[in-house]
Amino acid sequence: MLQLFYTNMIKILQIVLILILLLLIHPVSAVLFYNNGTDIPGAHLVEFLNNDTNFSSSPFPIQFFYNTHCGSCVSSVKFIDNFTIKHPDIGVEYHDLYNNTESFALYEEAKKQYNRSDLYYPVIFIGDIGIMGSPDIVTYTDLLTLWYQNHVKTDPLTEVRSWVRSVI
Backbone angles phi, psi at 68, to 5 degrees: -65, -15
User: What's the rounded Cα separation, in Å, for the pair 89 and 44?
Assistant: 27
User: What's the rounded Cα separation, in Å, for the pair 28 and 16?
Assistant: 22
Cβ-Cβ contacts under 8 Å for 94 (sequence gap 6 or more): 64, 66, 80
What domains appear along the chain, each with residue ranges and CATH number? 31-154 (3.40.30.10)
- Could you tell me where the beta strands, DSSP code E, fall in the chain? 31-34, 39-40, 62-66, 92-96, 123-126, 129-132
pLDDT in tens, the chain (168 residues): 677 777 777 777 677 656 554 444 444 456 899 888 889 988 888 888 888 766 666 788 999 999 999 988 999 999 999 999 999 999 999 999 999 999 999 999 999 999 998 889 999 999 999 999 999 999 999 999 998 888 865 454 444 444 444 445
- CB distance 12 to 20 below 8 Å: no
Classify 72 as helix, strand or coil: coil
